[in-house]
Amino acid sequence: MLNASYAGRSLPTTPPVAITAESVTRFSQALGLPDTGAVPPTYLISLTLPAADRLIDDPDFGLDWSRVLHREQRFAYHRDLRAGDEVTCAVTVESIKTVAGNDLLSLRTAVEDGEGVAAEVWTTLFVAAPAQEPGEAA
């Protein structure tokens, strides 16, 4: 189970990351989209998910990535991002809810450029309860 005391915590902001034309092209190609040079709406997941790696690496948080299922993703753009922009990501653990022994982890990541928050990304992960051994009480 996840450490519920992490709800409400914010991770340190990432160092600036450049959105490169090459990374936009690779992302577009991976999705089968035409390479128009525009940043695809879901591109930010390639920046925001790595920004949460500190949670995966934190043994006190208790996240076993092998039991994670991606449940939901939402994006809110406050302005367009383009190749050449530099952004930082600030991840906040919005909530941790336990349902039938499984955890639902909700993260919000603020993506900021030189003008402030350019976009927000919400990620919800389903974290399955560890498998019980035969004869173990539920």
133 part of a folded domain: no
pLDDT at 44: 96
Number of domains in the chain: 1
Contact in structure between 45 and 84 (CB atoms under 8 Å): no
The answer as to whether 57 is a domain residue is yes
- Tokens 């092209």 identify what position? 25
Any domain includes 137:
no
For residue 77, what are its two tokens?
A: 């753009």
Distances (CA, A) of 9 to 21, 52, 61, 134, 135: 33, 12, 11, 36, 37
SS3 content of the chain, % helix, strand, coil (to 5): 20, 35, 45
Q: Has residue 134 been placed in a domain?
A: no
Question: For position 138, what pLDDT does the model report?
Answer: 56
What tokens were used for 47?
A: 């920046």
pLDDT over threshold 70, residue 137: no
Mean pLDDT over 70-91 rounds to: 96
Domain that holds residue 123: 4-127
CATH of the domain at 9: 3.10.129.10
Q: What is the pTM of this model?
A: 0.90
